[in-house]
Amino acid sequence: MIDLGNGNSIEGYDKINVILGKNGSGKSTLLRLMDQRLSNGQTCVRYITPERGGELTYDGGIETNRSNNPSWMTTNRRKNRWEQFRQSSVAEFRNLETLVLRSIESDPEIRATDFRFDTEIEQINQVLDRVQLVRADAAGFQIRHKHEDRDVAASELSSGESELISLAVEIVYFSYLCKQEKYREQENWLLLDEPDVHLHPDLQYRLMQLLESSTREVNGRVALATHSTSILAALCGMSDGVRIGLKHFDPTALVFRSVDDAMRSVLPMFGAHPLSNVFNERPPLIVEGEDDERVWQSAVRSSNGRLSLYPCVASNIQSMNQYEEAAHGLIESVYDNARAYSLRDRDDQTYEIDDLGSVVRMRLSCRNAENLIVTDDVLDELGTDWPSLQAGVEKWIADNPTHSRFTSAKAFQDSGWDRKNFQLKELRMVIVGITGSTKPWEVAVGQAIAKMDQNRYAGEHSLADYLGEKVVTQLSLLAT
């Protein structure tokens, strides 16, 4: 644990540590406290301010100011916004070039390889699409078009390109500093405040690739504050050394947690850029199994945009709570007024289930999703009705006394045809086969759900009856 003072501390951290939180929750304050507490002259600690202004041009005044006052740049980087940040990145590129060339000059082992400063430049160029950096005749770099034989002025760059180049330089420079003898054995830190600003999710992904690969083999840790679950999703797919801390508004001991299976499964739902409304327009629905997922995927596809959900499958009923807690934590730390939904089979449980904060938790009114097959709505979708299906099952029982599903079918009959509460999992394929339909049962159920607003059936044994009042109410709220 690192005590940062003022009631703040961090623990459970690893290689790359992502701090998620809303505006005003104290993410930047936490990073600045880390900068102040960890900077002791022995370790390499670099803090990247959240609002980075300026242009990618060389400004000799930066080097002059730093020469006159060694803490000048560090002090300015602790501001929320620094108008000369990108000029300072150009200065750091020149310092990186000098550092690399001196290392080559002083180390015979490096000189014996084909390592050149261009190797460091290539790391940066890999994240760029339209332009690339090339070494200038003097120290520093020029910006060249990748597909045309011409230079590109810094003023021609988009904000995203400027941001990407500036941050890429900072990451590569930090990585190389960590390799120097002074810092090689220390616990060095790169503190990145909102690196997602101005970056499309695709560029965020590339920047995270560079961050992970550059820091993988050096003695350096990263603390990264962001709103972007795109960044988190990218990092969690690259490294096992990623930890997540959910920052709330009060000073607290921020405990970083590892990324478990539930978080990895839930994250794709949150992959949209946080400045968009995609998440609010298509909230996640966590379901028990793959069959349920296919049902709701079919419902979404068949609704022609009237039903907006992102089905997400939990591995089993035991992990539903884990998935719900993961979704709740992410929503509370990133989004305002967002919702997620979860839907369980009823099984033998009572219908009522309490919501988990921003996660609306629902339970079917019938035993399992398979019982939805025998609702009047779905049977109509399969081209039949209940009297016809009942007669078909009776005939199937008479004709198939040695079938592996005979016992289940006979028990269904002996239950008094309790189609809402009987365990129909084993009979789902038999039932669909009897109807003569070629539709998979999940597709038929999903299509019937998509048509519910047409009110074709109501009352006992309707789809609305089996789904239950809470599910139907919430779905009506989601319809557009």
Coil, strand, or helix at residue 45?
strand
> Comparing C-alpha atoms, which of 107, 28, 93 is closest to residue 59?
93
Measured CA to CA, the distance from residue 62 to residue 447 in angstroms comes to: 64
Residue 238 has a pLDDT of 85
Q: How many CB atoms lie within 10 A of CB 404?
A: 8
pLDDT by residue for the chain (480 residues), tens only, comes to 999 988 889 999 999 999 988 888 888 889 999 999 998 878 999 999 988 999 999 898 998 998 899 889 888 887 878 899 999 999 998 888 888 777 776 666 655 565 567 778 899 999 999 999 998 876 678 999 999 999 999 999 998 999 999 999 999 999 999 988 899 899 999 999 999 988 888 889 899 999 999 999 999 999 999 888 788 888 888 888 899 998 888 777 899 998 887 777 777 666 543 433 444 567 889 999 899 999 999 999 998 888 888 888 887 777 899 999 988 888 887 777 788 999 999 988 776 789 999 999 999 999 999 999 999 999 999 999 999 999 999 999 999 999 999 999 999 999 999 999 999 999 999 999 999 999 999 999 999 999 987 767 889 999 999 999 999 998 875 555
State phi, psi for 376 to the nearest 5 degrees: -60, -35
Q: What single-letter DSSP state applies at residue 79? A: S
C-beta of residue 221 within 8 angstroms of C-beta of residue 189: yes
Residues 351, 363 contacting (CB under 8 angstroms): yes
CB of 340 closer than 8 Å to CB of 315: no
Q: Which domains does the chain have, with CATH numbers?
A: 2-259 (3.40.50.300), 261-480 (no CATH)
Helix axes 117-125, 159-178, angle to 10 degrees: 140
Instruction: Write out pLDDT tens, residues 14-24.
Output: 999 999 888 88
pLDDT computed for residue 239 by the predictor: 83
Predicted local distance difference test score (pLDDT) of residue 22: 82
DSSP 164-199: HHHHHHHHHHHHHHHTSTTTTTS-EEEEEE-TTTT-
- Measure Cα distances from 275 to 15, 200, 206, 305 in Å: 27, 10, 19, 22
* Sole residue written with tokens 């035993």: 367
The pLDDT score that the predictor gives to residue 385 is: 96
